[in-house]
Amino acid sequence: MATTAEKATPCCSANRGTAVGAAAKVKADSVLPVGNDWTVDQKRSAASAAASSAVTAVIRPVEEPAISKAPPKGVQLLTRAQTMHPLDPLSAAEISVAVATVRAAGATPEERDSMRFVEIVLLEPERRVVALADAYFFPPFQPSLLPRTKGGPFIPSKLPPRRARLIVYNKRSNVTSIWVVELSEVHATARGGHHRGKVISSKEVPDVQPPMDAVEYAECEAAVKSYPPFIEAMKRRGIDDMDLVMVDAWCVGYHGEADAPSRRLAKPLIFCRTESDCPMENGYARPVEGIYILVDMQNMVIIEYEDRKLVPLPPADPLRNYTSGETRGGVDRSDVKPLHILQPEGPSFRVSGHFIEWQKWNFRIGFTPREGLVIYSVAYTDGSRGRRPVAHRLSFVEMVVPYGDPNEPHYRKNAFDAGEDGLGKNAHSLKKGCDCLGYIKYFDAHFTNYTGGVETIENCVCLHEEDHGILWKHHDWRTGQAEVRRSRRLTVSFICTVANYEYGFFWHFYQDGKIEAEVKLTGILSLGALQPGETRKYGTTIAPGLYAPVHQHFFVARMDMAIDCKPNEAFNQVVEVNVKVEKPGQNNVHNNAFYAEEKILKSELQAMRDCDPSSARHWIVRNTRTVNRTGQLTGYKLVPGSNCLPLAGPEAKFLRRAAFLKHNLWVTPHDREERYPGGEFPNQNPRLNEGLATWVAKDRSLEETDIVLWYVFGVTHIPRLEDWPVMPVERIGFMLMPHGFFNCSPAVDVPPSSTSEIELKETGGSKPVSAGLLAKL
């Protein structure tokens, strides 16, 4: 693999510049197998020092520019220090500075004490700042990103300070506010340095409720379990030990004026474990139904309570727990032999901070409390054409889980797991159980907790390579020659748990230029209790007195595309492709003809589209000014996987907040303020169709602009007996595939696969056997 300096080729453009010659080789962070974290940390420090040295060498010649030399038009003189890339996620020290700055700005001690910090994220800078950083301050050093001028580009000595954006909830006044803080100077707390920040702006946001926090969930559970009428209700159901009771504080959504955001509300779901002390017990196996509770989350008091219907707790099912088969009376699969994933020469990817290089791909990794993993500045290095941008930003921005049972409490189960809870804040630390194999690079994630402290999820994001079977194969029957190119992919992922469900979010990068977005659904079903002898048409009976309601899972991927576009360019358009059957006649005398028909989606209202597998419908984002060797415009196409639309009526209450579910594809021009499809505050949102449905009503032009794709994909889950007590992984997703982007297949560059050998372990030793011979055996 080429070094960082060797790979610093400019973007595809008629005005290509040269890479900075002084950019020395910057060593990537060391990547070691699991269990060597202390070694990784030591080597990371050395790599960081090497990177700093290389950057210093690059900027030293222009660190003190002549005062008389004015900067060229479009390049602003920037004067403040910055040691982190403008797109790196906030560090723990930066979060502490932001919290301290906002708290100090409180007018009274009461106001400061009442501040609850819901979310703190990096305020992503304008693209000209990112371009300047990528051009001269951080690898792969691409000066061609900036406009050319007669006197050459003016290079400031420093980048502007980073900024943080905070969502603050005042527990005393029930007011939500948004703050922007400039992180002027940040020192590590351990060194006792001064923390300085500057409030750039603050505003109250009326008539909203911010996402719920884990601290609130814990307080809500304690309040419910200490409420005397609830204790009596549980005794009527045979439960005296409140330690067995589980209270999941679900947001109320918005079903009418009673759910208005003037109060911060939750309607908990109740479950009860058995007397078992089994650490692998499925606590969701015994739902408590018939009890209605409304909790004021601001003051943490029960404001409405009613024991409406005595539904017996489901009996303890012997199959309920997820212990091994042997402990449940079955037989474990002990005949499985070890399967080792080995990379004796280490991984093929390179890591420098949050910058990743693998094969010809390069991009940056970010993380937010709401979205979780974010992929920035995706590009592919394409020989003499240099570094070709594909996307500015990729992430999952929302997910909604509506249930199909009209009975209480299931009709109100329509969680917005990103907007009401936060996918990132619910992410796993993979130290507690790694989900990847081979050589792995982990990234930590830092968050604020509810009271303003900093919490770290160690090993939150996983980066690793995977073998992915055959990339390409052909056998020539005339010559007897066979060619095989084996596929490998780079995977970046994180996994989160929201109550009973687990969601794994994956971005796969392939050697042939594809990008795959994948979601893996697993975990435990959310269940309902039945009266003796009762069945329900809206779910599956999976155990005596227990059923699983039908439901759907919807995910929204936001893709800010940049096909062959520099940061200051917006030359993309969207084309829909449908396969049409040719009408019988002179052009189709054999009645076998069909063709692909293209239609440019010229405006936002035209671009509200649904999947149609019957016509192989897909969409292409094209650059309107860059062509391939046959004269066709270069592009990437979005290829849908399996998908669905909501199975609810048009007047369903959850669609009031989730109008974006009505179509599989939405397209908008880029706007920094348009980040979340249901608006920034979907919790108890009384406004109709906020977010995408409101934005596209402006019907803005999509011709030669900065294209943002919003792809909505989902799965309809009709539970099976085999989903009990655990739900095996279900996969859904989509592909971004090059379409006329390359002049030929990048798979040609992949080395041919060598003959595979399988080693059979036998009593007398071992002998290698070819795969073909093994099949005969």
pLDDT at 325: 78
Q: How far apart are CA 284 and CA 449, in angstroms?
A: 27
Residue 30 pLDDT class (50, 70, 90 cuts) = very low
Q: Which has the closest alpha carbon to 496: 440, 435, 438, 442? A: 435
Residue 332 pLDDT class (50, 70, 90 cuts) = confident
pLDDT digits (tens, 9 = 90+) for 63-81: 223 333 444 444 444 444 4
Residues 6+ apart with CB under 8 A from 556: 396, 397, 398, 399, 660, 677, 710, 711, 712
Q: Which has the closest alpha carbon to 450: 219, 253, 104? A: 219
Which one is catalytic: 317, 382, 417, 564? 417
pLDDT digits (tens, 9 = 90+) for 100-151: 999 999 999 999 999 999 999 999 999 999 999 999 899 888 888 877 777 7
pLDDT digits (tens, 9 = 90+) for 544-556: 999 999 999 999 9
Preceding amide of 318 cis, omega within 30: no
Q: Residue 271 pLDDT more than 60? A: yes
Q: What percent of the chain has pLDDT over 90?
A: 74
pLDDT at 140: 80
Q: Residue 188 pLDDT more than 80? A: no
pLDDT at 254: 94
pLDDT at 467: 93
pLDDT digits (tens, 9 = 90+) for 294-323: 999 999 999 999 999 999 999 998 888 888
pLDDT at 64: 28
pLDDT at 70: 44
pLDDT at 145: 82
Q: What is the DSSP string of 644-670?
A: ----S-TT-HHHHH-GGGG-SEEEEE-
pLDDT digits (tens, 9 = 90+) for 445-480: 999 999 999 999 999 999 999 999 999 999 999 999
Q: Residue 38 pLDDT more than 90? A: no
Burial label, 639 (beta-carbon count in 10 A; 0-12, 13-18, 19+): middle
> Can 501 be counted among the known catalytic residues?
yes
Specify the DSSP class assigned to residue 420.
I
Q: Please compute the mean of the pLDDT values over residues 647-674 and round it to a whole number.
A: 96
pLDDT digits (tens, 9 = 90+) for 353-382: 999 999 999 999 999 999 999 999 999 999
Burial label, 611 (beta-carbon count in 10 A; 0-12, 13-18, 19+): buried
Q: Residue 196 pLDDT more than 60? A: yes
The answer to whether 632 touches 622, Cβ cutoff 8 Å, is no
pLDDT digits (tens, 9 = 90+) for 246-265: 999 999 999 999 999 999 99
Q: Which has the closest alpha carbon to 655: 626, 689, 679? A: 689
pLDDT at 185: 67
pLDDT digits (tens, 9 = 90+) for 379-411: 999 998 999 999 999 999 999 999 999 999 999
- State the first-to-last Cα distance of the chain, in angstroms, to the nearest integer: 39
CA 17 vs CA 73, 206, 385, 562: distances in Å = 18, 50, 12, 20
Q: Residue 434 pLDDT more than 60? A: yes
3-state class of 145 per DSSP? helix
pLDDT at 59: 29
CB atoms within 10 A of CB 334: 7
The whole-chain average pLDDT of the chain stands at 86
Q: Residue 16 pLDDT more than 70? A: no
Q: Please compute the mean of the pLDDT values over residues 719-748 and round it to a whole number.
A: 95
pLDDT at 354: 97
pLDDT digits (tens, 9 = 90+) for 208-254: 999 999 999 999 999 999 999 999 999 999 999 999 999 999 999 99
3-state class of 434 per DSSP? coil
Give the distance, in angstroms, between the CA of residue 312 and the centroid of all CA atoms in the same chain: 40
Question: Using only C-alpha atoms, what is the Rg of the chain?
Answer: 28
The answer to whether 271 touches 283, Cβ cutoff 8 Å, is yes
Q: Range with the lowest mean pLDDT among 143-152, 585-594, 656-665?
A: 143-152
pLDDT at 275: 78
Buried b (16+ CB within 10 A) or exposed e, 644-674: bbbebeeeebbbbbbbbbbbbbbbbbbeeeb
- As given in the structure block, the two tokens for residue 37 are 């974290």
- Strands 287-288 and 291-296 turn out to be unpaired
Which one is catalytic: 501, 510, 547, 636? 501
Residue 83 pLDDT class (50, 70, 90 cuts) = confident
pLDDT digits (tens, 9 = 90+) for 597-613: 999 999 999 999 999 99
Q: How far apart are CA 24 and CA 42, in angstroms?
A: 21
